[in-house]
Structure 1
Amino acid sequence: MDIKLGYIILYVENIEKSITFYRDMLGFPVKMQVESYTEFDTGATTLAINTRESVRNLTDLPIPSGKRTEQTSEIGLVTEDVEGLIEQLRSQDVPILLEPVQKPWGQTVAYVSDPDGHFIEICSPIT
């Protein structure tokens, strides 16, 4: 059996704010958009967003409303220029949760928050 990660879908409250964040602030091109579902071209794995309301209507799953304050996952975005991306996001008033730090294994890591409170790790490649 051959399994690969195809996409990640984040549930959001405000689709316009989230599109602005991922497309305009992080620079991911929109790959596809159908109603409230939007996919971004991020490389090998697609990042998608959809409204919590839409997912509830489509699936009947118990998707909670509102910005989440508890976290059980994060998205990792890899860049050669962690500090530069953090400064760019800071200038656009993106909440910086953790300033860039170098880990003992040599990787530089920082954390930001998207409009719905999802944690996003901005990190250098692991060498």
Structure 2
Amino acid sequence: MVRYGYTILYITDPVKTRSFYHGLLGLPIKAEHGSYTEFETGTTVLAFNTKEDVRSMIPYELPDKTGQQSIELGFVTDDVQQLYETIRAAGHETVLPPTEKPWGQIVAYVLDPDGHLIELCSPVSSSN
């Protein structure tokens, strides 16, 4: 049996990343080892590390630039507007203010310190 265990995204500044995901989003820190940080998100771990650290551990040349956006992280919250405003007030780039989708869900988009696309969304109602 195979199960999905974790996601690791590559970053440039561990301090800024911890500030965004722990300080602004409120995710509990599960583990920290140098530039590597794991956050509790439920059943799957979300982790971050610098490319330099990964290059020192495995024989794989990670590119310096990731190119076009190819991942989106979604975080469910009961107050999308408040979280969006908190992130905006902290100086992070925003993409889309809170918007109601046809199915009733509220979504907003921001960028984390490394430009990863972050969706802030309300829970999806089972009646929608």
Normalization by structure 2: what TM-score? 0.89
For the residue of structure 2 that corresponds to 1:76, the secondary structure is strand
Give unmatched runs, 5+ long, in structure 2.
none
- Cα distance 1:126–1:4, how it changes in 2: closer, same or farther (>3 A)? farther
Aligned match of 1:21: 20
Aligned match of 1:100: 98
Report sequence identity in percent.
48
The runs of at least 4 aligned residues of structure 1 exceeding 4 Å deviation read none
Residues of 2 paired with 1:93 and 1:69: CA distance?
23
Matched residue type, 1:83: Q
Residues of 1 paired with 2:75 and 2:4: CA distance?
15
Q: Deviations over 1:15-70 (max 9, x none)?
A: 1111111111211121111121111112222111100111122223232225x552
Cα root mean square deviation, aligned: 1.5
Aligned match of 2:83: 85
2:72 is the counterpart of 1:74: yes
Any conservation in 2 of the 1:97–1:110 contact (CA below 8 Å)?
yes
Give unmatched runs, 5+ long, in structure 1.
none
Residues of 2 paired with 1:116 and 1:126: CA distance?
28
2:121 is the counterpart of 1:123: yes
Residues of 2 paired with 1:4 and 1:124: CA distance?
26
Any conservation in 2 of the 1:13–1:65 contact (CA below 8 Å)?
no
For these two proteins, the number of residue pairs brought into alignment is 125
Residues of 2 paired with 1:109 and 1:63: CA distance?
32
Matched residue type, 1:64: P
For the residue of structure 1 that corresponds to 2:64, the secondary structure is coil
Normalization by structure 1: what TM-score? 0.89
Aligned match of 1:52: 51
